[in-house]
A and B are shown apart, each in its own frame.
Chain A
Amino acid sequence: MERYRVVAVEPLVVKPPHWMADHRLARVVVYDYAADRCVDACVEPSTPAWSRLDINRSQPMLSREEEAAAQKAWASDATVQAQLGMGDEPQATMHYWGRTEADLAHTRRSAAVVFGRAGGHPSLVVVVDLLDAAVTQVVPAAQW
C-alpha cells in the first residue's frame, strides 16, 4: 500500500479579486493513507510552491488505482468466491461509506464492488476496506 494516492488533478480558475485570479493553476487532490486525511492544493505550474494548501478530513472520490485495488481484494476471499455466480464479474466500483459506526466503512475509506454478469442485473455487493485491502461485507445485491 502506498501512502499517498493522487485522486485528481484539474485546471482551476480562481475568481477576481483573489490574488490567484488570472494565474494558471492546477488543483491537486491527494489522499494520505497514513494520516487518514485529504490534501487539497493549488499549484502554479510555473513556480515550485503551493499557492494554497488545505488539509482536511474529507473523503475524496476514489482514485482509479483505488478502484483497481478494490477489484483485486475480493479475488482471494473465500466468502466472495463462494457466492459468485457463473459469469459474475465486477460491474462497477462505488465510493461507499457507512451511515453509522455499526458499519466499519463509517470511518474507514471503503469501496463497494458491484458484481453481476456483463450487461445483466447485479447479483452481489462486496465492500472492501481500502486501508487493509480486505473484504468486510458480502451482501446479495437484492438485500443491499
Chain B
Amino acid sequence: MIYQNSKVILEVRGLCASVNGIEILKDLDFTAKSGEVHAIMGPNGSGKSTFAKVLAGHSAYEITSGSILFEGKNLFDLAPEERALAGVFLAFQYPIEIPGVANSQFLRLTYNTVQAQRGKEELDPLEFDDFVREKMKLLEISPDFLDRNVNEGFSGGEKKRNEILQMALLDPHLAILDETDSGLDIDALRIISQGVNKLANKDHAIVLVTHYQRLLNYIVPDFVHVMDAGCIIKTGSKDLALELETRGYDWVSAEYQANSKTRSAGMGV
C-alpha cells in the first residue's frame, strides 16, 4: 500500500556487483518506502536473486560501486548478521537444511537474538512454544514442524512455509522474498500469500522476487519492476505484471534499448 508521509526503507543507487569477476548487477537503482509492496520480475539470469543476496550480505558477491542505504544506514558497514538484526529479512529461494538442529531451538534462538537487539523481552522455551504455535496457526503449519530438524527432509512447500514462519517471528522492516512462490502448489501459494499479507503493514516494506504473475493475484504489489541484464529497465503498476504474463519480456527489453539509444543519441547532440 502506498501511504502519504511514508519513510524511505531502502535506497539503492548505482549498484554494481560481480561474482568471480563477472558483473551481474549494473548500475541498479531501487527505492522502497514503508508500507509498499514491490515485485521484481524478469527473465532467468537477469540478476534478481543476486540483488536479493547482495542486500542480505552474501559473501560470494563483490560490490564494485554504488550505495545501499537501509533506514538511512549504510548497509555495506553491516555484516550479514547485523543486517538481519537491523531488520533485513531474506526468505531464501532454496532454504538451507541444518541436520541435527531442532527447528524449535533454531526458531527460538533467532527470535531471542532479534528481540535482545531490539531491547525487547526474550522468551524461555515454554513461553516461546505458545508464541510460535500461534504464529504457526496463522500460516496453517503443522505442529510437527517444531520437532523436526531445520528444513531437513522438508518438502519444497514446507521449506517455504518455514521461511515465512521465520519472517512472522522476526517482524522485519524489510522482507525480501526470493522466489518464495516457485515450486508451490495452489493451496500452498494461497496460504503463504495470506501469511505475507497479514504481516504487511504500514511500517514495513516487502520486496517480492518472482517469475510468475500468479503470486501477484494473491499479494497485490504497489510497483512492478522488470529487471534485465542487472538493472531495472521498467517500472509500472500491478497491471504491468499482467501485460508481462501475456507478452513476455522481450518487448520491454526492446523498448529499453530503443530508449537508451535515443538517450545516448540525445547526449551526443
Do A and B actually bind?
A: no
Q: Which residues of B contact A (CB under 8 A)?
A: none
Q: Which residues of A contact B (CB under 8 A)?
A: none
